[in-house]
Amino acid sequence: MQVFREIKPLRAYLDAKRAEQATIGLVPTMGALHEGHLSLVKGSVDDNDITVTSIFVNPVQFNNPGDLAHYPRTLDEDLAMLQRYKGQVVFHPSANEVYKQEPMITLGFGPLGKTLEGQFRPGHFHGVGMVVAKLFNIVKPHRAYFGQKDLQQFAVIRRLVEDFSFDVELKCMPIIREPDGLALSSRNKRLDPDERQKAAKLYEALGIAHDLYRRRVSPDQVKKEVEGFFSMSDVTLEYFEIVNASSLNPLQSTFANEPVALCIAAYVGEVRLIDNLIIGNEY
């Protein structure tokens, strides 16, 4: 396994591999790896000769300094996990290596960046778009792998690729869950045992909403039911929305013939978690 901390030698290494016709998959991560990340790595290893896993806690995408400070960092464990996969290249740069200067460009993403997460995390998608664009330019992957858990992030990156004509195929990989339904996330590491138990409420709420939706209960009424479910618990709902899974526009009726996503964000103690469920057509 090759580990690079600088852009120049990574580029030289990948240029040489590309000249040998090797295909390159990119798995962007912020580390604290879990089975969800590893499913992206496995997907890339199956499809490509080389997989570049980037491990970089991107300061530009954090609007909350406390969240950035507490974001779990587990490099040694991460490297040990990646060691198991063939063709692994790890890119673990410093913040100065990635951001030689503060970016002058601001990425907006219009309505796609303002809804759901965008309402509560100003500047977040600018930061995600910025670092992903940099990674695409540094690694020049044939394919890049992202998790469905960050559904809005995937939608935003799809627009980034379209708007900047990046020559990369995007893959959205399914959510990996714990037996009680909790979606795997690096932030789960911050939950104490009591909070960990309560965190399953997000998935429970998605299940209730899915059931109501199937019974043609109106989106407004489903929202009210979910809000009621959380008002009786000590998990604090930030939002629950029923949206078109691609445009992320709110759904007006349960009779819509379009891929639908149920999206949720909630605080369990200090830890903010998100989850979603796609209904009907695969994303």
Give the catalytic positions in this structure: 37
User: Which of 4, 29, 33, 237 forms a contact with ligand PAF (CB under 6 A)?
Assistant: 29
CA distance 33 to 80: 10
According to the binding rule CB under 6 A, does residue 277 interact with ligand PAF?
Answer: no
CA atoms within 13 A on the CB side of 87: 20
Residues 135-154 contacting ligand PAF, CB under 6 A = 150, 153
User: Which of 61, 148, 188, 254 forms a contact with ligand PAF (CB under 6 A)?
Assistant: 61
Q: Give the shortest CB-245-to-ligand PAF separation in angstroms.
A: 18
CA distance 175 to 102: 33
According to the binding rule CB under 6 A, does residue 28 interact with ligand PAF?
Answer: yes
Q: Give the shortest CB-137-to-ligand PAF separation in angstroms.
A: 14
Distance of CA 42 to the CA centre of its chain: 16
Beta strands of the chain (E only): which ranges? Answer: 2-4, 24-29, 50-55, 88-91, 143-147, 169-173, 235-244, 260-268, 271-279
User: Which of 128, 138, 160, 248 forms a contact with ligand PAF (CB under 6 A)?
Assistant: 128
According to the binding rule CB under 6 A, does residue 36 interact with ligand PAF?
Answer: no
Nearer to ligand PAF, 142 or 149 (CB): 149
Q: Give the shortest CB-163-to-ligand PAF separation in angstroms.
A: 17
The answer to whether the CB of 81 falls within 8 A of the CB of 55 is no
The answer to whether the CB of 5 falls within 8 A of the CB of 81 is no
According to the binding rule CB under 6 A, does residue 53 interact with ligand PAF?
Answer: no
CA distance 108 to 103: 14
Binding string to ligand PAF for residues 163 to 192, with x set by CB under 6 A, is what?
A: ------------------------------
Burial class (CB in 10 A: 0-12, 13-18, 19+), 205: buried
Q: Where are the alpha helices (DSSP H) in 167-200?
A: 193-198
According to the binding rule CB under 6 A, does residue 129 interact with ligand PAF?
Answer: no
CA distance 125 to 110: 11
Residues binding ligand PAF: what is the number (CB under 6 A)?
10
Q: Give the shortest CB-186-to-ligand PAF separation in angstroms.
A: 8
The answer to whether the CB of 118 falls within 8 A of the CB of 140 is no
Q: Interacting stretch for ligand PAF, rule CB under 6 A, among 27-35, 231-239, 241-249, 254-262?
A: 27-35
Q: Interacting stretch for ligand PAF, rule CB under 6 A, among 100-108, 127-135, 210-218, 232-240?
A: 127-135
Residue nearest to ligand PAF (CB): 28
Chain residues binding ligand PAF by CB under 6 A are 28-30, 58, 61, 128, 131-132, 150, 153
